[in-house]
Chain A
Amino acid sequence: MKLKKNIATSEAGFIFNPATGDSFAANPLAADILARAKAGQDAAAIKADILERYDVAPGQLEKDWDDLLAQLREFNLLD
């Protein structure tokens, strides 16, 4: 997952794409993932941490991860 460099994320879970003017609200888990991605953590580390902390099966997380990527792509937030 590589977010576009100029994407702004806020503590409250807001995401702003300066190239398009679009704003987004992330739910807490999505906000957490994006913050870590922006900080340079790789996907495997983020996922491992989520599996550690949350009540979710690995298969479900993989599926939802792909769906999040699809959303980020759809919203033009990925490089």
Chain B
Amino acid sequence: MAVTGLNATDSPGPGVAVIRALRETADFDLRIIGLSYEALEPGIYLRELVDRTYQLPYPSAGTAALLERLRYVREQEDVAVLIPNFDAELHNFIKLEPQLRALGIRTFLPTLAQLEARDKLNLPAFGTAHGLPVPASRALHHAGELLAAAETLGWPLVLKGRYYDAAVVHTLAQAEQAFGRLSGQWGVPLIAQQWVGGQEINIAGLGDGHGRCLSAVPMRKLTITDKGKAWAGITLEDEALLTLARRFAEATQWRGGFELELMRAASGELFILEINPRFPAWIYLTAAAGQNQPAALLRLALGLPVMQQEGYAVGKMFVRYAWDLITDHTAFQQVAALGEL
């Protein structure tokens, strides 16, 4: 097993949670390899969860560099299944699917077309095509387009980075500043989205690639960080939410893990704000509530049968906490210089 996204920081990657869920499955006795991008991703040093970690080249280095590195990892480790957990890396992993298969590494990922279709940039067209409710949005290529976007979408405006990060801005000055920051980090275009008020709800789900939603667990955020990340949440029982998740999986024939970021307006109307093409960082809650989605995905990747999962513990909560794990400078040196620990 190899898992990326070990950056369990204040804006966490899902890797550590995925590993924790995998560790709980009774189906397999797993050796788990962490794949990290930076030397201080906390998951690297969680030695009881991660048996060994290898660093990967940044996604921006492209598929050739990634494949070369994974080939090396495969020479060291008997990796049967790889679960990528980081939006910006998915494009590369999906493209490499046949080459990875040739190395004996299986994945269970959406297709490139599915990945593109739910991209923030294409979300309005995606909503129209599948009859799914999404807020109005438009792509911005330069800061000069901000005013026009605000005129059509209204203030406040949600500005989203190409891959990550977002800001709610109330004035042109704020918008220009946010544009500079987000475009500097993630490139252009940015996405300007109509702001929708209400209650934030997320659904973690798993599609089998043939239109079936094998599992869906809705969660309401109870507290969020200043980056808008859930720091505590609770599972919900609401048939409308499950129906939406099933409609999504059916309409898109979604393959793999996904997260729907929703807003429930005061009227009760649901909007899909964003569709993440992977598990969320709170994915362990699905296992705790009785639907272990990472373990189910592992079975799918191996071609094993997976039953439609029904029922989960409602009112199950997660409360995230920070923990200072202790390591030594020699461990850091190993990772930073040699890319392995």
Q: Chain A residues in contact with chain B, CB under 8 A?
A: 10, 12-14, 16, 21, 23, 25
**Contact of B227 with A by CB under 8 A:** no
Bound-state CA distance A23–B39 (Å) is: 12
Task: Tell me the chain B residues, 252-271 only, with Cβ under 8 Å from chain A.
Answer: none
| Interface size class of chain B, counting residues whose CB lies under 8 Å from the partner chain | under 10
A25 touches B333 (CB 8 A): yes
Closest chain-B Cβ to A20's Cβ sits at a distance in Å of 11
B336 touches A16 (CB 8 A): no
Residues in B whose Cβ lies below 8 Å from that of A14: 330, 333, 337
Bound-state CA distance A10–B333 (Å) is: 11
Residues in A whose Cβ lies below 8 Å from that of B333: 10, 12, 14, 16, 23, 25
**Contact of B186 with A by CB under 8 A:** no
The answer, among A13, A16, A25, for a CB contact under 8 Å with B329, is A16
What is the chain B residue whose CB lies nearest that of A8?
B329
Closest chain-B Cβ to A62's Cβ sits at a distance in Å of 28
Residues in B whose Cβ lies below 8 Å from that of A16: 329, 333
Bound-state CA distance A17–B54 (Å) is: 25
The answer, among A10, A12, A21, A23, for a CB contact under 8 Å with B336, is A23
20 sampled A-B residue pairs with Cβ under 8 A: A10-B330, A10-B333, A12-B333, A12-B337, A12-B338, A13-B337, A14-B330, A14-B333, A14-B337, A16-B329, A16-B333, A21-B329, A23-B329, A23-B332, A23-B333, A23-B336, A23-B337, A25-B333, A25-B336, A25-B337
What is the chain A residue whose CB lies nearest that of B332?
A23
Bound-state CA distance A14–B336 (Å) is: 10
Residues in A whose Cβ lies below 8 Å from that of B332: 23
Closest chain-B Cβ to A34's Cβ sits at a distance in Å of 15
Bound-state CA distance A21–B40 (Å) is: 14
Closest chain-B Cβ to A63's Cβ sits at a distance in Å of 26
Please give 18 more A-B residue pairs, beta carbons under 8 A apart, in addition to A10-B330, A14-B337. A10-B333, A12-B333, A12-B337, A12-B338, A13-B337, A14-B330, A14-B333, A16-B329, A16-B333, A21-B329, A23-B329, A23-B332, A23-B333, A23-B336, A23-B337, A25-B333, A25-B336, A25-B337
Closest chain-A Cβ to B34's Cβ sits at a distance in Å of 20
Per-residue contact bits, chain B 321-338, to A (CB 8 Å; 1 contact, 0 not)? 000000001101100111
Residues in A whose Cβ lies below 8 Å from that of B336: 23, 25
The winner among A10, A12, A21 for most chain B CB atoms within 10 A is: A12
Bound-state CA distance A21–B338 (Å) is: 19
Residues in A whose Cβ lies below 8 Å from that of B330: 10, 14
What is the chain B residue whose CB lies nearest that of A25?
B337
Bound-state CA distance A27–B336 (Å) is: 14
What is the chain A residue whose CB lies nearest that of B336?
A23
Residues in B whose Cβ lies below 8 Å from that of A23: 329, 332-333, 336-337
Task: Tell me the chain B residues, 291-341 only, with Cβ under 8 Å from chain A.
Answer: 329-330, 332-333, 336-338
Bound-state CA distance A12–B335 (Å) is: 13
Bound-state CA distance A17–B336 (Å) is: 15
What is the chain B residue whose CB lies nearest that of A17?
B329
What is the chain A residue whose CB lies nearest that of B39?
A23
Bound-state CA distance A16–B329 (Å) is: 8
Closest chain-A Cβ to B317's Cβ sits at a distance in Å of 38
Closest chain-B Cβ to A27's Cβ sits at a distance in Å of 11
Closest chain-B Cβ to A19's Cβ sits at a distance in Å of 13
Bound-state CA distance A16–B338 (Å) is: 15
Bound-state CA distance A23–B330 (Å) is: 9
Q: Nearest 4 pairs between A and B by C-beta?
A: A25-B337, A14-B333, A23-B333, A16-B329
Closest chain-A Cβ to B212's Cβ sits at a distance in Å of 50
Residues in B whose Cβ lies below 8 Å from that of A12: 333, 337-338
What is the chain A residue whose CB lies nearest that of B337?
A25
